[in-house]
Amino acid sequence: MHYKKLGNSSLDVSIIGLGTMTWGEQNSQQEAFEQMDYALSQGVNLFDAAEMYPVPPRPETAGRTESYIGNWLADRDCRADIVLATKVVGRSDNLSGAGHIRGGSRLNRDHIRRAVEGSLERLRTDTIDLYQVHWPERDTNFFGQRGYRHNPDGDGIAIADTLEALGELVDEGVIAQIGISNETSWGLMEYLRLSEQRDLPRVVSVQNAYSLLTRQYEVGMAEMGLRESVGLLAYSPLAFGVLSGKYLNDQLPDNSRLALFKRFSRYTGQLSISATGAYAEVAARHNITLTQMALAFVCQQPFVGSCLIGATSMAQLVENIASHSCELTPELIADIEDVAALHPDPAA
């Protein structure tokens, strides 16, 4: 397993990170334990959760994922071996289905402190290694939105107030590093500007979508991340499983995420499916699975700190983790770029 420093922090994270958002909905605690055991045995040390998980978010399951992780950490007594990351819910009226979190979550001091206390209790730990803002407070583009519409009246809690609240928790030793998620170039710039201006903790990571179907991060954000030492934690590198190829030819496997939850339509438009078919042909020509080609492409990007995989079966997990050792030849990369030129960013 390859490891990289996350941003300018002291955290060494595995190039493959373990996403957890299916645990407690599609996966039982026993299955989550099996996944964590295997991932750790393969050198995966970054486990990424959120107070809202599992998804889709429901009052009945909120926090269950963190509880599974906490129970595993207590049972295996391996907290020191894990870089533990979780997230505070963003402004709840910016995401359908999140209103049950604290009766309508906001990114102010009170909500952030209550969120951290809840996560610490469920995770059964005294410290969170990486604490992330799940999505912005203000009205902006995230979760696949296109066409930015400026609405400063909808900014809500200022980023400065959010950052100061996080800084208090860093000073107290409750969290070690801070990150942001589903952010824009302006949002990252503002966090960095405020941290320097007010001597507050510096963001070390951005967790945004990045895959063969979603490469907008390369425009603007990639340069900022490299120049400012802020690592990308790439989520949905398989585009909710679309880049496994299992949904091609109008297939909808039983118990797959897209069969169970119709809300996950970000990567299932005709443009995305057409692009996926073209990438599948490239993978077949080069004798590599589409899954491993897609994940290896993400892992090799210099601005990526870790590629966050997610799996509902052990077979998927084994294949996903093995992708870290896949070498993509220059010829294969050239073929990928040819497809990208014909199918530019089919999913937002």
Quick check: 299 and 249 in contact, CB under 8 A? no
Written as one letter, the residue type at 151 is: N
- Looking at the domain assignment, is residue 19 inside a domain? yes
- Looking at the domain assignment, is residue 142 inside a domain? yes
Tell me the C-alpha distance between 304 and 310, whole Å: 17
Residue 302: asked if its preceding bond is cis (omega within 30°), the reply is: no
**What are the phi and psi torsion angles at 168 (to 5°)?**
-60, -40
- Looking at the domain assignment, is residue 314 inside a domain? yes
- Looking at the domain assignment, is residue 131 inside a domain? yes
- How many structural domains is the chain composed of? 1
- Looking at the domain assignment, is residue 167 inside a domain? yes
- Indicate if the pLDDT at residue 146 is higher than 70: yes
The angle at the Cα of 215, spanning 342 to 258, to the nearest 5 degrees, equals 90
- Indicate if the pLDDT at residue 289 is higher than 70: yes
Q: Which is the catalytic residue, given 3, 38, 53, 247?
A: 53
Local confidence band at 260 (pLDDT 50, 70, 90 cut-offs) = low
User: What CATH number did the domain enclosing 179 receive?
Assistant: 3.20.20.100
| List of residues 6+ apart from 216 with CB closer than 8 A | 345, 348
pLDDT at residue 26, as a whole number? 95
- Looking at the domain assignment, is residue 347 inside a domain? no
What does pTM read for this prediction? Answer: 0.96
Which residue did the predictor score with more confidence, 17 or 144? Answer: 17
Local confidence band at 143 (pLDDT 50, 70, 90 cut-offs) = confident
267 is catalytic: no
- Indicate if the pLDDT at residue 67 is higher than 70: yes
**Tokens 């050239």 belong to which residue?**
334
pLDDT single digits (tens) 154-180: 899 999 999 999 999 999 999 999 999
Domain ranges, residue 238: 3-342
pLDDT at residue 320, as a whole number? 98
- Indicate if the pLDDT at residue 152 is higher than 90: yes
- Looking at the domain assignment, is residue 348 inside a domain? no
pLDDT at residue 188, as a whole number? 98
* CB atoms inside a 10 Å sphere around CB 33: 18
Q: How far is CA 276 from the centre of its chain?
A: 21
The angle at the Cα of 119, spanning 116 to 121, to the nearest 5 degrees, equals 110
- Looking at the domain assignment, is residue 295 inside a domain? yes
- Indicate if the pLDDT at residue 117 is higher than 90: yes
**Tokens 């896949």 belong to which residue?**
326
Percent of the chain residues past pLDDT 90, beyond the cut:
86
- Indicate if the pLDDT at residue 251 is higher than 80: no
| 3-state helix vs strand vs coil in the chain, percent to 5 | 45, 15, 40
Taking each helix axis as running N to C, give the angle between helix 314-322 and helix 29-41, from 0 to 180 degrees, rounded to the nearest 10. Answer: 20
